Copies of this chain bind each other. A is one copy, B any other.
Amino acid sequence: MPEYPTALGAASKDEITLLGHSLANDVMGEVGFGELAFWLATQRRPTPGETRVFEAVLAALADHGYTPTAIISRLSYLSAPDSVQGALAAGLLAGGSRFLGVTEDCGRFLHDVLVAQEQLPTDDAGWDDLARATVQTQREAKKFVPGLGHHVHKDGDPRTPRLMAIAAEEGVTGPHLALFAAIGRVHPEILGKTLPLNGAGVCGAALADLGLPLELLRAFALLARTAGLIGQLAEELRHPVANDIFLSVDLNNRPVDPDPYVPESF
């Protein structure tokens, strides 16, 4: 019979433990929710400074207004009000590569650059050199630098300097943020134009500096968004818009003739 080890939740008749601690006595009332999420993901309790940076990231990613995730959750709740879990799940499913993926892409990108170095830079000049080489390499490969650019905040994304400042205050700036900041300083030399370091990107850099698993960076964006989607559903309950959205599409449908699909020929 296989056994299934876990360090997470466990229960006996008189006790419930989480991560080896008494849930009732040591966790409830003692551990904030952001702190707990970090602890569950890493099986180590974060410092207060790490928690503050982590929660700042979650705040930055929680809600961006009428994104596809928000529209989808509201429409799903309109259609299936009996299933709150379905409305949240449907919204999260839109948290894929295009809209929530920059956080993960940026964290992984920076990480890949860093692990390829024999030795990391020790001063800003060194980081700038590494950033120049990094941007140059991407440019030559005709690839974007993840986290660079924003379609709205063209003169700067206000989340970026703020998150960097919080990380600095808490003493948890690491190599990912250092490289990301350096990319922000030097890219105009190479690209010939100044682009903002975006909020999703800086969040990825910060999460990587916090030592969170790279495979799950997107998951933290999704955790943040879950709180945001609950906010969307709560607003929908009192100030509904989903039916208007639905009708704005349905009533403006235009029937057209079928356009038979022709596969690529050889």
Query: CA separation between A210 and B199, bound complex, in Å?
Result: 32
Q: A79-B99, A86-B96, A249-B66 are in contact. Are A42 and B260 (CB under 8 A)?
A: yes
**Nearest CB in chain B to that of A60: its residue:** B28
Query: CA separation between A162 and B25, bound complex, in Å?
Result: 7
Copies of this chain, complex-wide, total: 4
Beta-carbon contact of A64 and B9 below 8 Å: yes
**Nearest CB in chain B to that of A250: its residue:** B66
Beta-carbon contact of B44 and A33 below 8 Å: no
Q: A36-B59, A59-B27, A98-B79 are in contact. Are A261 and B241 (CB under 8 A)?
A: no
Rounded to whole Å, the gap between the CB of A28 and the closest CB of chain B is: 4
Asked if A142 lies at the interface with its beta carbon under 8 angstroms from chain B, I say no
Rounded to whole Å, the gap between the CB of A163 and the closest CB of chain B is: 6
Query: CA separation between A21 and B92, bound complex, in Å?
Result: 25
Beta-carbon contact of B82 and A6 below 8 Å: no
Residues in B neighbouring A220, C-beta threshold 8 A: 230
Asked if A133 lies at the interface with its beta carbon under 8 angstroms from chain B, I say no
Residues in B neighbouring A96, C-beta threshold 8 A: 76, 79-83, 85-86
Residues in chain A within 8 A of chain B (CB atoms): 1-20, 22-25, 27-29, 31-34, 36-37, 40-44, 52, 54-56, 58-60, 62-72, 75-76, 78-90, 92-100, 111, 114-115, 117, 120, 152-159, 161-163, 166, 169, 175, 199, 208, 211-216, 218-220, 222-224, 226-228, 230-235, 237-239, 241-242, 244-246, 248-250, 252-264, 266
